[in-house]
Each structure stands twice: as C-alpha cells, then as structure tokens.
Structure 1
C-alpha cells in the first residue's frame, strides 16, 4: 500500500450542496469542508450516500472530490467511489485516486445482490488495481444484501482493504468482525450514528457520521472520550445527541440532514430528484432538536475534538 490513513475518530459523510438550478454549489461545499476541518474532525468523506452520489454524474463526482481536497489543509479525504458495476466502481475509483483522494469508500454492489464470493471478487478487483486504503461499506438496507463476517474477515487480509463501515444495525455482527480482525491493520467504523458508541465499545475505531455535519464538536468529543475509555462522558454526550440521531433519520438520509444544514445556515436544503425536501410535519421537530442542542453545550465544555484522542 503506497499510503496509509489512521481511520480513528470522526469522518463526516459530507452533503453535496446544490444551487437553485441543481448545479453543484462549490463555494458552499468548500466552506463546509473548512468548517468541519476547523471543528477537529479526522477526515472527510464526500460523495457517499449522504452526498447524493446516486444523482451525480461521474464528472461531477470527481469535481466534488477535487473541490474538497483543494479546500482543506490537513485532513484526509476519503472519496465515495462505489457502484453496483465492478467496472464502473473501478473506473470511478481510479479517477478519484487521480484527483488526489487519500482513500476510498466503496459501497457494496446494490440491486444485483451478489453472493458472498461476488463481494470478495468485486472488492479484490479494485484493491488489486489501486494502491489506496479502501473501506468496505456494508449497508444492507440500501443494497439488499449483507456482507457476512466471514467475507469481511477474508477481505481484511488484503493490504489495501483497510476498513469496514458498519451500517447493518447488527451489533453482534459488528463485534464479531472487530474481534476477528484484531490482529489486522483493519478499522471497523460505525455507519450508524446511534450505534457509534456501542460500536467503539466492541472494538470499533470511530465513525463515518451524518450527525457530525451538524454537531462535529460534540461528535468528536463523544468519540474521543470513548476511545480514551471515559465512557461516563461519552455516554452523556451520546444521550445529548440521541434526539439528533433520531431526527436525522426520520426520513431518508440525506433529506433531514440537508434541512438541518439549512436551518443552521451551513448550506441549502435543495435535493436532486427523486429525493424531496423534508416534510413540514417533521421540520418543527428538527428545529426543536437543533435549538435544544444550541442551548445546552454542557457535556462538551471540558474538551472536544482532536485533544481527546
């Protein structure tokens, strides 16, 4: 592997902001990357599911990656570059690497529903071709197929497959993968904000987070405390963030988080079809959660961000 990344800590799954004509708002995108870096996150993940990669062209995808890289000074950029077509995922991964990405996040092939041996072949094809650290992304609710622990463990033996984003909701499975890869240079990262703290407790190293777009300092404080073994403080922050975790998934991600970004003044809420704006029935609840968080900064007061790790 030609480069390495310490996949420990908080890696926000960034939103892709759009102008009124649905073109990409690069100025806001870069300002957001800089805001998150200043908040103390450990890396950035553009053009994943939260970045609406499914509605971006490949050229737009690469443009977003390049813009985020250009905007930040000292954090790695892990580009979402997966597809349900291995050749397409390989091409997009190669283009992301050429654009300067430090690593790759590869969602498992969706819709096709490959067998486990198909997952192994898919990921190894990309890992053999590209010398960047790569994260296997398991989110069966979106893809229709689970990456089983045996498969994850087999993939962990490849020198370029450096981590696993766990969004199955199955803590037993997540813990098994962490247990069985403890002797590998392999990171298990939460892909579900509500399970970040439990994931760290069973051997996880951090999170690729939606909520960190809205509350990066709190998320860094929670993860940092947990990694330091201060579970009393980590649990207190987890409970503070609990209403946000729930509010951000009241509708399909990234609908609520983009609405929250707009409420906080971080970026527009516009979505590309077929996704739509957050329904009015849920907006008042989201506003209330955000207002409560702004009014109660207590649990972060004794430190946050990189100083905790």
Structure 2
C-alpha cells in the first residue's frame, strides 16, 4: 500500500486563546513532508480529531492539502456517529483530501456485521478511499474483513488493538478470499509507538506503520525505519533500548500521554504546537524533564549508531 511504510500523523496546534494555530500547523506539516513519509494522516487521533469543531477540521485538512501540494497524499480522519462521520467525510473531500481514516464509532458497541454497515454508510458520502481503523468499539472478524472488499472505496484496515494473532487471521482471510481486490487491500500497524511492534507486524504481512515519534524526533523515526528496512538489527535494538522503550514507559504513566507527550516533545525540539485540549492533560514538569532526558539519550544513540556504521 505504501513504499517505505512510514506514515505521519501530524499534531493539531492550539494557541494560548484556544484557537487552531494554522501557521504553526503549516510549518509542522512542511517539516513532516520533509521527513519523507509515504502519507500524512491529519485530524486523526494524534491530531485530536475529537477536540475539533467542524470549521476547525475543515481548516486543518485544507491547510495540510495546500502545504503538501501534491508531494504526498493527505488522508483525513473522520468519525463519531454515522451521520457525523458522513458529514466529516464530505468536508474532507471538499477540502481536497486524498483519502479518509474512519475512526471507531462513538461509544456504541456493535457486532462486526454492524460495523461493516457503518463503514458502508460513511463510505457512501464520497468517492475517497477509506481506511478502517480497528480499535476500541470497532473490532472486525474474518467475515467482516472480507465483506469490506465489497465496498469499492474501502482500501484497507489500520489496526490499533495489538492482537497479532487476530490481525493475522484478518490478513489471511482477505488475501485468501479470491476477491479481485484482495491482493491490493492494505493493512497498517496503528499501535501507539508502533515501532515496538513493527517487526512482529511485518512478519504477518503488515509493513506500513504510524509513527508519532516522527512528529517530534523525525531523525530518530526515519533512522529506525531505515534500520528496519535494511535489516540493521544493531541499530534497531540500540534505538529500542535507548529511546523507544523508555519513551513508552513514560507514555504509559498517564492516559492520553500518547498525544500529550508528542506535543511536548515537539516543543522540546523547537516547534511550539501549544497544549492539548481536555480531557487530555499536559505532562507534569517531572515528566517533561524525563522526556527531555529520553530525547537526549535517543539522539546520542543515533550518533553512536552513525559512528559505528561509518567505521564499519
């Protein structure tokens, strides 16, 4: 589905008076494009989709499309109840998005067959390709995954659950279905800090992954991706041990830090994208200090890896 597998999920910056900071967002998107991901996914989880008004959403998507300028595809998050998701999908299309990431239905749990109906309803809003995000209230089974192939604009499934056995069953069901779209159907690893699971997912045929680290430490995220693709296990293990595992340990201390720490990391890296909106909370001073130390360790590990490579 994507060539190098690395996907960007930009943050949405807010000003001190609680408006979307579009100039800061444009700069952030430009930096993300420069990092070389396969696609941008704006106004999604990391982009605080649920905190945006409809007008803000339109501005965020249209700004990303303008900044990207056709250099890479821009996908937009959409979600909520079926009617709300339908409206957001139409707005994304009007704003020039290249595709949609359909987030789980708000609050309501349903069987997999009901989820397929929900996807069909939202997909009918536009001709844009849709990636279905599996997590929380949206859990597919094998029959539902295969049924998605009959919705022409559904292009793939992004997994945020982390059940590799379950995901293998979905991939196998689709690939062996005999459906004419089966071979081209995409699968994405959408776990928080997906670098920890990228090798396990690659083993079951899921090569593309979201990288929140790309938002605040693109040099680390891109180096890790290159190491994975080239089979450089020494660099992979060094960056996991020195940066990713400590970052995840800090991330897991407070619910919502999967977004709040990323925003704080951007600020520590020289791009102030403001604070998170409630119910998310910003990192404590103690946790900010720990994050700064983790970033320093990661960058030191990156330098060490480069030195080792140059000497080899």
State the 1:133 CA deviation: 1.4
Q: How does 1:47-196 map to 2 (within 5 A)?
A: 47-73=43-69, 74-83=71-80, 85-140=81-136, 143=137, 145-182=138-175, 183-192=182-191, 193=194, 194-196=196-198
The residue that corresponds to 1:294 in the other structure is 299
CA RMSD of aligned residues (A): 2.3
- In 1: Cα distance, 2:265 partner to 2:153 partner: 35
Aligned structure 1 segments of 4 or more residues deviating by more than 4 angstroms: 227-240
State the 1:119 CA deviation: 0.4
Pick from 8, 17, 23 the counterpart of residue 27 of structure 1.
Answer: 23
Gaps of 5+ in 2: 176-181, 308-312
- In 1: Cα distance, 2:234 partner to 2:98 partner: 34
Q: Which has the higher contact order (CA 8 A, sep 6+)?
A: 1
1:214 and 1:198, CA in 2 relative to 1: closer, same or farther beyond 3 A? farther
Instruction: Please tell me whether residue 41 in structure 1 is matched to residue 37 in structure 2.
Output: yes
State the 1:8 CA deviation: 5.4
1:300 and 1:68, CA in 2 relative to 1: closer, same or farther beyond 3 A? farther
- In 1: Cα distance, 2:49 partner to 2:221 partner: 24
Task: Give yes or no for contact 1:9–1:220 (8 Å, CA) kept in 2.
Answer: no
Task: Give yes or no for contact 2:116–2:144 (8 Å, CA) kept in 1.
Answer: yes
State the 1:279 CA deviation: 2.1
1:150 and 1:24, CA in 2 relative to 1: closer, same or farther beyond 3 A? same
- In 1: Cα distance, 2:199 partner to 2:272 partner: 28
Task: Give yes or no for contact 1:200–1:227 (8 Å, CA) kept in 2.
Answer: no
Please, what TM-score do these two structures have when normalized by structure 2? 0.85
Q: How does 1:7-18 map to 2 (within 5 A)?
A: 9-18=5-14
Task: Give yes or no for contact 1:211–1:244 (8 Å, CA) kept in 2.
Answer: no
The residue that corresponds to 2:221 in the other structure is 219
SS of the equivalent of 1:45 reads strand
Aligned residue pairs, count: 294
- In 1: Cα distance, 2:153 partner to 2:224 partner: 29
Q: How does 1:244-263 map to 2 (within 5 A)?
A: 244-251=247-254, 252=256, 253-263=258-268
- In 1: Cα distance, 2:298 partner to 2:232 partner: 22
Which of the pair has more CA radius of gyration?
A: 2
